[in-house]
Amino acid sequence: MHELPLVFFTVFGQLAAGMVLIGGISSLSHYSYSLIKINRMNMASLIIMAAAMLIASLHLGHPFRAFNVIWGIGRSPMSNEIFSFGILFGITLVCVLLTYFSYHDDGKKWLLVSSLCQRIYQIPNLSKILSLLLVFFSLIFVWMIVLTYMLPTVKTWNTYYTAIQMYTSMLVLGGIAATIFGLYRIGIIFFFIGVILILLLKIPYINLMASVSPELTSKQYIWMLIQCLLLVLALALVIVNIYRSKQSIIIYAIVFIIVLIAELCGRVAFYNLWTIQM
């Protein structure tokens, strides 16, 4: 499958964006979430973003071609997508460094850096501004992905379901990832919203795709069925874990793997629906 790098790039990108979104909202909320937990999640999102960028470069045939996107910013949806992803990565990196060096003492080696970060971090409302930027650019990045695929020439992609798929992936993946890092309440809320929307809208989505391209849609039933079954299993495991006397991180980690596989299956089906109507 030629689009396999894009399958992983979009899913990993939405996973990272979902984690950053939840981290930003958590730091802005009045809940007593630890900044250390949020920062650890942001660190993990940076690693995922870096992996996504590397995978995306493979689709170009030569990694250095990725720099060509600079010339298409503003007129090319793909350039806007990668550019917004770069901005999100940069802001997340700044947040991680400022938070880490402001709350950790790594000895004399990093004394100057820690002192500088602590002074910057004390700028009034800076942390709130950075959190707002993380929320904003995480949503913008996913919207840039949507615009990349809502092509008038591809009838199976040029629907509002494309936007729904991208944002629900962001919610369900980011939500379950947040629970692993200890942000249980907001993580579970995002996870439940994402899963319920995916399951409720799957049949209307299939019906719409079948009306546009029946033969092509029929070949994707197995991918969509696997996605739904895995999400139902994940939902059941989360519900069971919630009612345990002590929630298990291991169960959440297993659910994360299940959800990731489910969304990869759903994205494979999405790319397999590529068709140009004559």
State pLDDT tens for residues 195-238: 999 999 999 999 999 999 999 999 999 999 999 999 999 999 99
- State whether 270 and 195 are in the same domain: yes
Residue at token pair 């990668």: 82
- State whether 5 and 120 are in the same domain: yes
CA distance 149 to 162: 8
- State whether 163 and 102 are in the same domain: no
- State whether 85 and 169 are in the same domain: no
Task: Determine what percent of the chain falls in helix, strand and coil, rounding each to the nearest 5.
Answer: 80, 0, 20
* Boundary residue ending a domain (149, 179, 203): 149
Give, as one character, the DSSP assignment of residue 202: H
What residues contact 137, with CB distance under 8 A and at least 6 apart?
84, 87, 88, 91
Q: pTM of the full predicted structure?
A: 0.89
- Report the pLDDT value the prediction gives residue 66, as an integer from 0 to 100: 56
The number of domains in the chain is: 2
- Report the pLDDT value the prediction gives residue 278, as an integer from 0 to 100: 40
pLDDT at 73 over 80: no
- State whether 259 and 235 are in the same domain: yes
Per-residue pLDDT tens digits for 134-156: 999 999 999 999 999 998 888 99
- State whether 242 and 162 are in the same domain: yes
- State whether 74 and 191 are in the same domain: no
* Band (258; pLDDT cuts 50, 70, 90): very high
- State whether 133 and 168 are in the same domain: no
- Report the pLDDT value the prediction gives residue 114, as an integer from 0 to 100: 63
- State whether 15 and 27 are in the same domain: yes
What is the extent of the structural domain holding 83?
1-149
* Boundary residue ending a domain (130, 149, 168): 149
* Boundary residue ending a domain (115, 149, 183): 149
- State whether 126 and 169 are in the same domain: no
- State whether 71 and 193 are in the same domain: no
- State whether 234 and 250 are in the same domain: yes
Q: Which DSSP string do the residues of 29-59 spell out, in sequence order?
A: SSS---HHHHHHHHHHHHHHHHHHHHHHHHT
